[in-house]
């Protein structure tokens, strides 16, 4: 995969740990600590992962096989509705060297 853009670049994926205030950080912490979370957390996590995977930074220098996998992640991110689906999606992302956590 390509190198990351500077965090302040408009097309760079925005990392959840840099969020100031808001609800995403607590939702991600509950997810990572394997704590129960309210139904709204999965929507926040899905939106976060969608902005991460949709960043054009991942498109630079990818071959055909990687492109197919990347496109699959971009499609599947919309279908994340529970912790297990998020875990499976993250495993596929890590296989491509993409780590939003």
Of 5-19, 26-40, 65-79, 86-100, the range with the lowest mean pLDDT is: 5-19
Alpha carbon distance 101, 94 (integer Å): 10
The arithmetic mean of pLDDT across residues 37-57, rounded, is: 91
- Closest by alpha carbon to 86, among 20, 28, 38? 28
- pTM for the model: 0.83
Tokens of 50: 């969608």
Q: What is the dihedral of CA 59, 64, 70, 76, to 10 degrees?
A: 140
Map residue 83 onto helix, strand or coil: helix
Tokens of 29: 């912490």
Alpha carbon distance 4, 32 (integer Å): 23
What are the extents of the domains in the chain?
A: 16-95
pLDDT tens digits, one per residue of 2-42: 455 666 666 667 777 777 778 999 999 999 999 998 989 99
């Amino acid at each position: 995969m390509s190198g990351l853009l500077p965090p302040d670049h408009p097309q760079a994926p925005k990392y959840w740990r840099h969020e100031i205030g808001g609800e995403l950080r607590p939702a991600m912490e509950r997810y990572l600590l394997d704590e129960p979370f309210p139904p709204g957390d999965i929507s926040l996590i899905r939106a976060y992962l969608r902005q991460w995977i949709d960043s054009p930074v991942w498109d630079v220098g990818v071959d055909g096989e990687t492109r197919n996998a990347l496109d699959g992640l971009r499609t599947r991110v919309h279908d994340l509705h529970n912790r297990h689906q998020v875990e499976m999606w993250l495993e596929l992302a890590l296989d491509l060297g993409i780590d939003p956590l």
